[in-house]
Structure 1
Amino acid sequence: MNILKMLMASAAVVAVAMPMAANADTSDKRIALSNNYAGNSWRQAMLTSWETVTGKAVEDGVVAAADAFTTAENQATEQAAQIQNLILQGYDAIVINAASPTALNGAVREACDAGVVVVSFDGIVTEPCAWRIAVDFQEMGRVQVEYLSGRLPDGGNLLEIRGLAGVFVDDEISAGIHKGVEEYPQFEIVGSVHGDWAQDVAQRAVAGVLPSLPEIVGVVTQGGDGYGAAQAIAAAGRDMPIIVMGNRQDELAWWKERKDAGGYETMSVSIAPGVSTLAFWVAQQVLDGKEVPKDLVVPFLEINQDGLEEALETTPQGGVANVEYSLEDAQAVISEAM
């Protein structure tokens, strides 16, 4: 938590020197959010952050509208149709959390050709006309194994819990985890399941694979799956390994309970759901005529043992540790990228 706070503080300092956007330039503009999936706490927190920040921006007259739309199924074809519909509805910008980095490129190109600004985040798109806001997801996976190497220098067997199959984020984090195992070959991944970034799905998946696995010393994850993994491992009567958490409130609460009872130690890492609000402000800045690099990178949010209590206090029941971005934060990220 402290790492992110320092980064955001430095961003705020940079933003002070940057001119504020003139509200009148975008007060008649309409921005839409196209979201491919809402079936876990991270996505719900992401949508809540969007509503909180953009609702205030609409109220203040910064933009005329900032509506959110989520597809019923996590299908690229359905999201492409949604984007085409948003073009027809006359939105000036579309912010996208994409089901696929490539399958939406045709619809994104249609939007750009129609003069619509497209900003992708989290699940980014590769169409060159779009803007991209991403975390280094591979590094987010790699640092988990690096952390375990410090705790478990002799290594051992790892269980990998992946996210939603077929999504860019899942592939990138998993690639980072496997890079970490190459860097620290004392570890071996002996099992891999998809938890869909949801604790109930992860719990069922881990319970199903555990009987076939040897002793596990660590569980590497993608977020939303740590608590479910812990429940499955406890139910199986196994020794509790070091489970890397993903900043969800249920994970942090379980971690604190185990820490207080016996000194259980781990780490937690994820992208802040409020990255959707950064994408909103980037879209607003592009509409306002500002020069914005096509690719922007934001830090992931890491919680260590010392920061657990503070993070838990500020994370709502059923929610995710979060940071919401302001216009000044967006201006700082843009300035740093330039």
Structure 2
Amino acid sequence: MNRFFSLIVATALSVSSVAAQGVEELGPELVDRLYNSDMLDPDQPIGPSAYRDFVAANPPPWKIGYASSYAGNTWRANAMDELQNVIIPEWKELGLLEEVIITQSNLNDSTQIQQIRQLVDQGVDAIFVCCSNPTALNQSVKYAYDKGVPVFSFTGYLTSPYSVNSSVNYQLAGFEIGKWMVDELGGSGNVLVVEGIPGTSGSDSQDRGVRAGLATSEDIKIVGSVAGMWTDQVAQGEVQRWLATNPGQLDGIVVQSAAEMGVLRAVQQSGRENIPVAIGGELGALCYWRKNPDYISAAYQVWPPQDEVQLIWNIMMRTLQGQGPKIQSILVDPIRLTFDDIAKILDEDCNEQSTEWLSVGAASWGADPAYLDQFFLRPADPKAYKAQ
């Protein structure tokens, strides 16, 4: 009887242990804020990570692949600059990095799939991707997994159970931006929505949140939607065309970075300069606000490129070192910026044509060791790692 009872208890404990994996291993405050089902993309993977017990096949220095999907906007340029001029030299100096092999697919899923497989066949130890289609790469991610190569996705998620993802909670961020616009307009008005790249997880999640935020007032009407493709030139052209063919009342524009500078230019050229535009992290747009303090009440940093690439790099290095990520998606909070915040960063003589981006710093964007430690089973300083 005692043996039977002991077996029941042991089985129950085993089931409980399995059930507690993934998001349930995180602190309740973190879960309530960033993993709350009411404010989370329903497709965001939050189960236990496939790399909880991962051990890299090779010791450092490691060879890393970056299968980039696009290089045609200021965000990608700033992320690449951080990678090539800050991250790579630092981690080579630490003796943990041999090289980074970079490919570009120019938004062609088939090309990116082929490039990921080629990187695996070239012998890389890990691969990271950015802002990609959430399902298109899944077979190539599985191919990499079967070869012992983990894949990491930043600024958007992949739905493959064999990827590790990092980003802001985009649906939450979009909701806060949409709700901010509602408040900015006093709860009533006509709004144009400028999406990012439809079909990518970051764009679709944020757009869903924006629309939910705008829907908090029944007197807010979405009068149009265009795709800015996260690119200023594209967004400027799309908004110019929309404004030219829609001369009616327009009270506000919600836009996903990196496209706010293009939207601002389109609005200015149309002569409707008093329309508030949601501003993210582009320094040119923030400079416009700096010179016009009463223009808007806040800006939202949703994906600072320098900090985003630092975050996924730290997650990747921790995983290669055997620290064991608990969960498939490591999320961070959007950052709300006031005019006082911007005035401390930018002078009145700042450059409105700047193509640079605001970096909020690791301590504010998840790469801070104390924050990332929460997401790993065996947390340690990744820069202090010594091969056994």
Normalised to the residue count of structure 1, the TM-score between the two structures is: 0.85
Task: Tell me what 1:238 maps to.
Answer: 272
Task: Tell me what 2:285 maps to.
Answer: 251
Cα contact 1:96–1:124 (8 A) shared by 2: no
Secondary structure of 2:66's match?
strand
Amino acid at match of 2:371: V
| In the alignment, structure 1 residue 335 sits paired with structure 2 residue 373 | yes
| In the alignment, structure 1 residue 265 sits paired with structure 2 residue 296 | yes
Amino acid at match of 1:320: W
Cα contact 1:204–1:232 (8 A) shared by 2: yes
| In the alignment, structure 1 residue 62 sits paired with structure 2 residue 96 | yes
User: Residues 1-338 of structure 1: matches in 2 within 5 Å?
Assistant: 26-51=59-84, 52-71=86-105, 73-211=106-244, 212-259=246-293, 263-269=294-300, 270-273=302-305, 274-293=307-326, 294-312=328-346, 317-323=354-360, 325=362, 329=367, 331-337=369-375
In the alignment, the residues of structure 2 paired with residue 80 and residue 226 of structure 1 have an alpha-carbon distance, to the nearest angstrom, of 30
The alignment's C-alpha RMSD in Å is 2.3
Number of residue pairs matched? 310
Instruction: Determine which structure has more spread, i.e. the larger CA radius of gyration.
Output: 2
Distance 1:193 1:335, change over 3 A: same
Amino acid at match of 1:255: W
Distance 1:195 1:153, change over 3 A: same
In the alignment, the residues of structure 1 paired with residue 221 and residue 78 of structure 2 have an alpha-carbon distance, to the nearest angstrom, of 34
Secondary structure of 2:215's match?
helix
Task: Tell me what 2:13 maps to.
Answer: none
* Identity across the alignment (%): 25
Following superposition, the deviation at residue 186 of structure 1 comes to 2.1
Amino acid at match of 1:267: A
Cα contact 1:54–1:277 (8 A) shared by 2: no
Amino acid at match of 1:333: Y
In the alignment, the residues of structure 2 paired with residue 246 and residue 58 of structure 1 have an alpha-carbon distance, to the nearest angstrom, of 32
In the alignment, the residues of structure 1 paired with residue 184 and residue 316 of structure 2 have an alpha-carbon distance, to the nearest angstrom, of 42
Normalised to the residue count of structure 2, the TM-score between the two structures is: 0.74
Stretch moving more, 35-44 or 269-278: 269-278
| Structure 2: tracts of 5 or more residues without a match | 1-29, 31-57, 377-388
